[in-house]
């Protein structure tokens, strides 16, 4: 019983860690783009994904909630980065405090994104779910591929 509980807890921690690593990868990509460029890029990627899985009218409300949660995360992160970059200088403690605030906000948004994605996923057909499974597996490999 204890071993089962430990394994389940470990599985949750590992899943959260992988998810956080993926999103941090997105954040690193975003850092090199201007605010509107990154938001547009994410919005376009979401539109392509929506077309790829052929969202139906009955699935649209769930898609829109997921989409908005992703865009809210991008907008919030860009706002924090802008506030940080507008400071003429940071002390080391201020630097780490700003980073921690971004991580805390990211954690908040990831919970919302995950909840809304899981709701969407639950309302999709098995073939749509399979498309999403492949899509996010490909994204995971793209983000973690060795760069030469």
One digit per residue, pLDDT tens: the chain, 148 residues? Answer: 555 555 555 555 445 444 444 444 444 444 444 568 999 999 999 999 999 999 999 999 999 999 999 999 999 999 999 988 888 898 999 999 999 999 999 999 999 999 999 999 999 999 999 999 999 999 998 877 776 5
CA atoms within 13 Å, Cβ hemisphere of 12:
5
Q: How far apart are CA 70 and CA 65, in angstroms?
A: 9
Q: How far apart are CA 71 and CA 94, in angstroms?
A: 27
Of 148, 110, 105, 143, give the one whose Cα is nearest residue 25: 143
Angle at alpha carbon of residue 146, lines to 142 and 148, rounded to 5°: 115
């Amino acid at each position: 019983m204890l071993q089962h509980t430990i394994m389940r807890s470990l599985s949750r921690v590992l899943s959260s860690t992988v998810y956080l690593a993926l999103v941090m990868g997105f954040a690193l990509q975003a850092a090199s783009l201007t605010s509107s460029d990154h938001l547009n890029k994410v919005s376009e990627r979401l539109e392509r994904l929506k077309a790829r899985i052929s969202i139906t009218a009955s699935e649209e409300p769930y898609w829109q909630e997921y989409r908005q949660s992703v865009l809210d995360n991008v907008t919030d992160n860009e706002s924090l980065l802008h506030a940080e970059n507008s400071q003429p200088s940071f002390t080391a403690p201020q630097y780490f405090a700003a980073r921690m605030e971004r991580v805390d906000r990211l954690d908040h948004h990831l919970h919302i994104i995950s909840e809304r994605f899981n709701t969407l996923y639950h309302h999709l057909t098995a073939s749509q779910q399979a498309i999403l499974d492949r899509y996010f597996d490909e994204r995971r490999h793209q983000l973690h591929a060795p760069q030469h």
